[in-house]
Amino acid sequence: MSNPPNNGNIERLLWQRVPNDIEGKKVDIQELSIFFPENDTFYGVQLIKSERKYNIYGRKQRNSEYAEFIAYWCMACKNLVGGAPKIIDASDHGGYSTYCRVCNTILQEYSSL
């Protein structure tokens, strides 16, 4: 049995759709909290995951392991950016790369090779 292709489709599914007002734009935690408030289903906005070049912010679901990703902190430009990073599939090797939407730094590269 072969492995499924390692393209950006799975990565895209991890990210919650955010309002156009903040997608790809510099934001702060307070602004994210207005659009994504704490409620009966989710905790408030918090750090969800740390990567080498960026951190992912979102909300964790109460009584569950599920978390929705809603923003990332780019360590290169030192900005919190609303929405998912730019995800570009690499057709030559079946992988994909993620880029900061503010400074265009490569945040992570994935390969299926």
How confident is the model at residue 7, as a pLDDT? 65
Structure tokens given for 64: 């569950």
Q: Is 82 exposed, middle or buried (0-12, 13-18, 19+ CB in 10 A)?
A: buried
Q: Are strands 79-82 and 26-27 parallel, antiparallel or unpaired?
A: antiparallel
Tens digits of pLDDT across the chain (113 residues): 444 455 677 677 788 889 999 999 999 999 999 999 999 999 999 999 999 999 999 999 999 999 999 999 999 999 999 999 998 887 666 788 999 999 999 999 887 66
Domain boundaries, given as residue ranges, for the chain: 9-110
> What is the reported pTM?
0.86
